[in-house]
Amino acid sequence: MEDLQPDLSRTLRLDANAVAGLLREAFGTEMTATPIECAHCGNRAEVGTLLAYCHGPGVVLRCSGCEQIVVRIVQTPEFYDLDARGAVALRLNRLEH
Amino acid sequence: MKPSLDWQIATVRAVRSETPKVKTFTLSLPAWTPHRAGQHYDVRLTAPDGYQTQRSYSIASEPERTGEIDLTIERIETGEVSPYFHDVIVPGDQVEVRGPIGGYFVWQASRPEPLLLVAGGSGVVPLMSMLRHRAAARATGPARLLYSSRTLEDIIYYGELSALQDGQASLGVYHTLTRAQPAAWKGYTRRIDQPMLAEVVRPLGRSAQAYVCGPTLLVESAADALVRLGLNRAQIRTERFGPTNLAQGG
């Protein structure tokens, strides 16, 4: 992804809403309205506000405030590999009974 | 009950041409659940050799319609999924879908704020679901749609948008045609910019809730302009479709 020209990368980016299906698979619940806090700039907003870069082998979600990486997700046949070191806090809905 | 997100087999009930490059597909769903306007469905195609590919398409219909949904799909020449829909699928065919998906880019008619909708090209689709929902719920709060298309024939839902506007004093629909305009065209004739947004948003006031959907660069420039016009980022929800010629990845 770093090899792409910045302008092209900017043109290709989407909102995290575009990967709502993947997030729901990985977390088991709807995620785009969930509050998440960026570890880099402290911006706190819904997951749906994150910028989604989906044209590489995984999905990279960046903060819409500082554009630093918040979450990376790679799917393999067996696992979702999640790197969330860019997120300070994430509030997950409890499953309804 | 926890909402499930299982794949289900939908049956295509109808196919309607909207513009030369855009068609609407009505899908009957065996496990239909009510959506919220602005949500999407994932569509998965499987080739005979097992190769699978998947795209997300916004729901065009209102949640008040039960048992079926409309997906309005633009044909992307280099895409894998949209040409299949346009060239191959006929009523009676079956496709694999899951949804509704997404809890962020959604609007409900019970929201009290004035509604501002900004669309480029097929970005109008989830906003049309909102307008159809608004009409079905008989919401009367002020709402405005600013919609950018290349030419008159590229405007999706043109007749229905005109009818909605004629039937509702609280709704304003504003078109801009960026590439070519018919002789008697009275709408805007340039890309969406800050002065245009200022004219459209002013009567709604600063409490407006904005939904902006379309090609990424259009969405970002419109959202930035709305912030300069005094809206907070939290009042602006965006859905980027990617590059103009690769909307929704095809």
Poorest-pLDDT segment among A6-10, A86-90, B123-127: A6-10
Residue B67: both structure tokens together:
């048992």
What integer pLDDT is reported at residue B250 of this predicted model?
58
Residue ranges per structural domain of chain A: 6-90
* Number of domains observed in the structure of chain B: 2
| pLDDT value, residue A6 | 61
Of B101, B126, B158, the position where a domain reaches its end is B101
Say whether both B207 and B155 belong to one domain.
yes
Q: Give contacts of A10 with chain B, Cβ < 8 Å.
A: 216-217, 220
Q: Does residue B235 belong to any structural domain of this protein?
A: yes
Q: Looking at the complex, does the CB of residue B36 fall below 8 Å from at least one CB of chain A?
A: no
Asked if B96 and B119 sit in the same domain, the reply is no
Chain A residue with CA closest to B244: the answer is A11
Interface predicted TM-score (ipTM) of this complex, two decimals? 0.80
CB contact under 8 A, A21 and B5: yes
% of chain B beyond a pLDDT of 90: 90
User: pLDDT band at A8, cuts 50/70/90?
Assistant: confident
Residue B249 has pLDDT above 80, yes or no: no
pLDDT higher than threshold 50 for residue A97: no
Q: What is the domain range of residue B243?
A: 115-249
Cα of first residue to Cα of last residue in chain A, in angstroms, is 41
**pLDDT, mean of residues B87-116:** 96
Residue B3: pLDDT band (50, 70, 90) is low
Among B59, B74, B101, the domain-final residue is B101
Residues B144 and B76 in one domain: no
Residue B170 lies in a domain: yes
pLDDT value of residue A37: 95
The domain spanning residue B54 has which CATH number? 2.40.30.10
* CB-nearest partner of B239 from A11, A17, A21: A17
CATH of the domain at B119: 3.40.50.80
> In this complex, which of B1, B104, B239 lies closest to A96 when CB atoms are compared?
B1
Based on the domain organization, do B18 and B141 belong to the same domain? no
**pLDDT tens-digit series, residues A10-56:** 888 999 999 999 999 898 888 999 999 999 999 999 999 999 999 88
pLDDT for the residue numbered A91: 82
User: pLDDT tens digit string along B19-68?
Assistant: 999 999 999 999 999 999 999 999 999 999 999 999 999 999 999 999 99
Q: Does B104 touch chain A (CB under 8 A)?
A: yes
Asked if B5's CB is within 8 angstroms of A24's CB, the reply is yes
Minimal Cα distance from A48: which residue of B? B104
A36 SS3 class: strand
**Is B50 in the same domain as B173?**
no
- Residues B123 and B87 grouped into a single domain: no
- Decide which of B101, B128, B150 is a domain's last residue: B101
**Is B1 contained in some domain?**
no
Query: Are residue B177 and residue B209 in the same domain, yes or no?
Result: yes
Structure tokens at B165: 């506007």
Q: Are residues B132 and B54 part of one domain? A: no
Decide if B106 is inside a domain.
Answer: no
The verdict on residue B3 lying in a domain is no
Rounded to the nearest angstrom, the minimum Cα separation between B106 and chain A is 10
Q: What is the DSSP string of chain B?
A: -PPP---EEEEEEEEEEEETTEEEEEEE-TT-----BT-EEEEEEE-TTS-EEEEEEEB-S-TTS-SEEEEEEE--TT-SSHHHHHHT--TT-EEEEEEEE-SSS-B-TT--S-EEEEEEGGGHHHHHHHHHHHHHTT--S-EEEEEEESSGGG-TTHHHHHHHHHH-TTEEEEEEESS---TT--SB-S---HHHHHHHHGGG-TT-EEEEEESHHHHHHHHHHHHHTT--GGGEEEEE--SGGGGGG-
CA nearest A46 in B: which residue? Answer: B104
Query: Rounded CA gap, B159 and B186, in Å?
Result: 16
Q: Is the pLDDT of residue A2 over 60?
A: no
Shared domain check, B144 and B94: no
Helices (H), chain A: 6-12, 20-27
Residue B245 scores a pLDDT above 90: no
Q: Closest approach of chain A CAs to the CA of B196, in angstroms?
A: 23
Task: Check pLDDT > 90 for residue B73.
Answer: yes
Residues in chain B with CB shorter than 8 Å from the CB of A54 are: 249
Q: Do B126 and B239 lie in a common domain?
A: yes
The DSSP output letter for A43 is -
Structure confidence by residue, pLDDT tens digits, B197-228 = 999 999 999 999 999 999 999 999 999 999 99
Only one residue has tokens 């997120």, namely: A87
Residue B107 lies in a domain: no
Does A32 sit within 8 Å of B103, measured CB to CB?
A: yes
**Residue A96: predicted pLDDT:** 58
Which of A11, A15, A24 has the CB atom closest to B101's CB atom?
A24
The C-alpha atoms of residue B113 and residue B143 are separated, in whole angstroms, by 9
pLDDT, residue B60, reads 98
B126 and B245 fall within a common domain: yes
Given an 8 Å threshold on Cβ–Cβ distance, is B101 in contact with A20? yes
% of chain B exceeding 70 in pLDDT: 96
Residues B70 and B29 in one domain: yes
